[in-house]
Amino acid sequence: MSTSRVSTPRGAGRPRRVTIADIADRAGVTAAAVSLAVNGRPGVSDATRARIMDIARELDWEPSPAARALTGAPVLAVGMVLARPAEVLGNEAFFGAFVAGLQEVLSTEDYSLQMKIVESTEAEIETYRRWFGQRRVDGVVMVDLRQDDPRVPALEKLGQPALVIGGPGHHGSLPAVYVDDAVATTLLVDHMVGLGHRRIARVAGTAEFFHTAQRDRAFLDRCEELGATGVLQDAGYGAQGAAAATEGLLAEEDAPSAIIFDSDEMALAGSQVLLENGIRIPQQMAVASYEDSALARTHRPAITAIGRSAVQYGRVAATRLLEIIDADRRRPLPDAAQAATGEVRAIDPQLIVRASTAGADAG
Amino acid sequence: MSTSRVSTPRGAGRPRRVTIADIADRAGVTAAAVSLAVNGRPGVSDATRARIMDIARELDWEPSPAARALTGAPVLAVGMVLARPAEVLGNEAFFGAFVAGLQEVLSTEDYSLQMKIVESTEAEIETYRRWFGQRRVDGVVMVDLRQDDPRVPALEKLGQPALVIGGPGHHGSLPAVYVDDAVATTLLVDHMVGLGHRRIARVAGTAEFFHTAQRDRAFLDRCEELGATGVLQDAGYGAQGAAAATEGLLAEEDAPSAIIFDSDEMALAGSQVLLENGIRIPQQMAVASYEDSALARTHRPAITAIGRSAVQYGRVAATRLLEIIDADRRRPLPDAAQAATGEVRAIDPQLIVRASTAGADAG
DNA sequence: GACTGTTACTATAGCGCTCAAGTACCGGCA
DNA sequence: TGCCGGTACTTGAGCGCTATAGTAACAGTC
């Protein structure tokens, strides 16, 4: 009876948390046996295991994650830091769905997602350092990949499970998951050309993000391949910029007959401008977006868009990250294997054709 | 030298994590002294404290949260469960900003936010149970308050720090933070009446949420007080419903001259319908929304809206939750004090007048 | 009938920290 | 000189779990 203990009611305090020792006492075994039983490890008879499980359920006991973490077990949490104005999150359809996809997979593995919004990239890196330093997370998801991103070398140095969302390229030796923007671009351009458009504009968002440059290149290349004229228009960030860019396009002598916007938000702002200028969509101008959302769907006309299936994206990312975490646990050599798991996974985008491009008589 | 230990390089493994013992060794004191020093407790001289802090910084050491949690310290995490289709998150401007406000305050106190998306209310309650049972969080934020919400009694029974977002009312003995929807409604109605509108419609969202009913009542009351006619139109959820509701209003014999929508998303959808029907905003129809967002701001015409300042809302909520957690730690009697902290805090909304109502010649 | 091998456990230590109790040292004071 | 009280630590135990080594009981083997 070495594991029995005096039960100190300690006044009117909260009831003492039930621990592994309580289960062990009740089952007439030691804590170690309970540990073996609940973790599905050999060393206890089936009968004893069943008895222990029953008691645990009855007493409503669950092992303390803190105590487990102390013995080196995974903490069952992954982190994601966002270094952007928080208000932006609310506007971006992509984000919510992505998180949902992440959660869906993480939840089934009993992992939780920890999020933090910070002011700067430095603060983001510092957060990674602390999270791993304190063992608050088993791995992290890094979003908003930029060109020559300082977070990449920082995470490489930490040598901890980290997954980059974005690419291909610019993620160093880190594993990455990305939607193939080149494929997405091809889908959009091909669609427009297929409808008869010969002069196609692309209204591009923040140049800072890696995918913007990638789309630019793919766009011009594909237009050229198909013998169409690609017009590149930089719009900076958000709706404001997109509206201005659209006005700019309309003012041109040889205006395009189709515009591809970088996001749903931009496409809506652009459409608004077209409407105000009496230009009918899709009859006089075809409109499409790289990003789908409820807004794109319910807008009239509904906007043709790339269904990146952000939810699916999130699912793939979570699955991949869990694989990485798992691999990391198996072998204690960080560097070599880190590189080995640095493999990249791409998700194929799909084109969702809607009214904003359908039946256009191109000109 | 009782705390010294054999350093086992163990092959090519990851370097051993630096612990409190390393700091103690280096400083020539025991771990207990280090603990006192870093926690700002008396019992160490200023000189020793400074030395310890220096070494800790130099060795890049931070106390392990797991070990601390094991001794009863707060785990420095708060949780939020969302039981709604994840895709919705992306569309709702409110949500992102709210989370941002939460984070802003939590981060300064070194708390992190844990989120989980679940399928059902039962799963949500189960999550609370497990989070608290495993001591994964110190407190939770409960959102999307409904009428006779089963989560309220569930959380009351758990007797752990929990803050309800929404009210007033329907949150039982739990503390709550809410935006005063009655005030918001008054602001909107007064504004419309002030512009000369005498027949005002309200296009309402999901009836399930508590605030919907509250707005309904306040809307009708205020209209009556001011001698205007309030028209209530149920729209169900989202843009689709709002568009249909708007069409319904237009079809009426005695159509209103102003419409107040429950959300920005709904206002945009409604505006679209008005535009298609050749009705000019705000000349022929004034439009306003209960929810502000970048979309409402950049839409043309820009939509008059209630700036609930979701960010501020989040800040207040986080501050309040931390207070509750703190209070909970001080006294070990859960029930009585729970009720004592059950106090409620309201946030006053503001009206942001934009083009969609400005200069309307009502009638 | 002594040996080997398995199974089903127990005993003990340790993860990294905190806390309560103990001790060494020092100045002050009658 | 002896005692008191405070400061600055140390000692030891404990939080709840897991891992490793150890042991008792039993079956099988030549």
pLDDT at A193 over 60: yes
Q: Is A296 on the interface with B (CB under 8 A)?
A: no
Exposed e or buried b per residue across B232-259, where buried means at least 16 C-beta atoms within 10 angstroms of its C-beta: ebebebbbebbbbbbebbeeeeebbbbb
How much is the pLDDT for A86? 58
How much is the pLDDT for B160? 92
Q: CA torsion sign, B333 to B336 to B341 to B346?
A: positive
Q: Do A86 and B95 touch (CB under 8 A)?
A: no
Would you state the structure tokens that stand for residue B91, as one six-digit string?
């569309």
What gap in Å lies between CA B105 and CA B321, rounded to an integer?
A: 10
What gap in Å lies between CA B233 and CA B245, rounded to an integer?
A: 6
Asked if residue B56 lies in contact with residue B23, where contact means CB atoms within 8 angstroms, the answer is yes
Q: Do B65 and A103 touch (CB under 8 A)?
A: no
How much is the pLDDT for B168? 83
Query: In terms of CATH, what superfamily is B1-63?
Result: lambda repressor-like DNA-binding domains (1.10.260.40)
CA distance to partner chain B, nearest, from residue A228 (Å): 32
Asked if residue A106 lies in contact with residue B103, where contact means CB atoms within 8 angstroms, the answer is no
B62 CA to D20 C1' in angstroms comes to 29
What gap in Å lies between CA B264 and CA B287, rounded to an integer?
A: 10
Asked if residue A185 lies in contact with residue A215, where contact means CB atoms within 8 angstroms, the answer is yes
Would you state the structure tokens that stand for residue A219, as one six-digit string?
């766009």
Summarize the confidence of residues B146-162 as an average pLDDT.
Answer: 93
Q: Which of B14, B31, B13 is nearest to B22 (CA)?
A: B31
Bond prior to B301 in cis (omega within 30° of 0): yes
| Mean pLDDT (chain B, rounded) | 86
The interface residues of chain A toward chain B in range 326-345, judged by CB-CB distance below 8 A, are 332-334
pLDDT at A245 over 60: yes
User: Could you tell me which chain A residue has the CA closest to the CA of B334?
Assistant: A14
* Domain edges within chain B: 1-63, 77-179+312-348, 181-308
How much is the pLDDT for B46? 93
CATH class of this structure's domain A77-177+312-347: alpha beta
What gap in Å lies between CA A316 and CA A305, rounded to an integer?
A: 21
Q: CB-side exposure of A209: number of CA atoms within 13 Å? A: 18
At the topology level, CATH places domain B77-179+312-348 in: Rossmann fold (3.40.50)
Summarize the confidence of residues A10-31 as an average pLDDT.
Answer: 80
B77-179+312-348 and B181-308 agree in CATH topology:
yes
pLDDT at B12 over 70: no
Asked if residue A192 lies in contact with residue A288, where contact means CB atoms within 8 angstroms, the answer is yes
pLDDT at B153 over 80: yes
pLDDT at B87 over 90: no
Q: Which of A169, A175, A120 is nearest to A142 (CA)?
A: A175
Sheet holding A112-117, edge to edge: A344-347, A176-179, A162-165, A139-142, A77-82, A112-117, B112-117, B77-82, B139-142, B162-165, B176-179, B344-347
What gap in Å lies between CA A80 and CA A142, rounded to an integer?
A: 6
Q: CA torsion sign, B90 to B95 to B98 to B103?
A: negative
What gap in Å lies between CA A318 and CA A357, rounded to an integer?
A: 34
User: Could you tell me which chain B residue has the CA closest to the CA of A126?
Assistant: B60
Among chain A residues 65-94, those with CB within 7 Å of any atom of strand C = 67, 70-71
Q: CB-side exposure of A122: number of CA atoms within 13 Å? A: 0
A66-80 residue pLDDT tens: 999 999 899 999 999
Cβ of residue B28 lies below 7 Å from strand D: yes
Summarize the confidence of residues A98-127 as an average pLDDT.
Answer: 88
pLDDT at A297 over 60: yes
Summarize the confidence of residues A96-120 as an average pLDDT.
Answer: 86
| Mean pLDDT (chain A, rounded) | 86
pTM, rounded to two decimals: 0.80
How much is the pLDDT for A341? 56
What gap in Å lies between CA B323 and CA B329, rounded to an integer?
A: 10
> Which of A66, A295, A310 comes nearest B70 by C-beta?
A66
Band of residue A17 on the pLDDT scale cut at 50, 70, 90 = confident
List bases in chain C with any atom under 7 Å of a protein Cβ: 7-12, 14-20
Best to test chain B binding among A102, A114, A271, A276 (most B CBs inside 10 Å)? A114
List bases in chain D with any atom under 7 Å of a protein Cβ: 7-12, 14-21
How much is the pLDDT for B15? 65
Out of A34-38, A93-97, A132-136, A160-164, pick the least confident: A93-97
Percent of chain B at pLDDT above 90? Answer: 56
DSSP letters spanning B221-244: HHHHHTT-EEEEEE--SHHHHHHH
Summarize the confidence of residues A240-268 as an average pLDDT.
Answer: 93
pLDDT at B355 over 90: yes
CATH class of this structure's domain A181-308: alpha beta
pLDDT at B101 over 90: no
Summarize the confidence of residues A42-60 as an average pLDDT.
Answer: 93
> Which of A86, A93, A295 comes nearest B103 by C-beta?
A86
Band of residue A331 on the pLDDT scale cut at 50, 70, 90 = low
pLDDT at B140 over 90: yes
A257-273 residue pLDDT tens: 999 999 888 998 999 89
User: Could you tell me which chain A residue has the CA closest to the CA of B68?
Assistant: A66
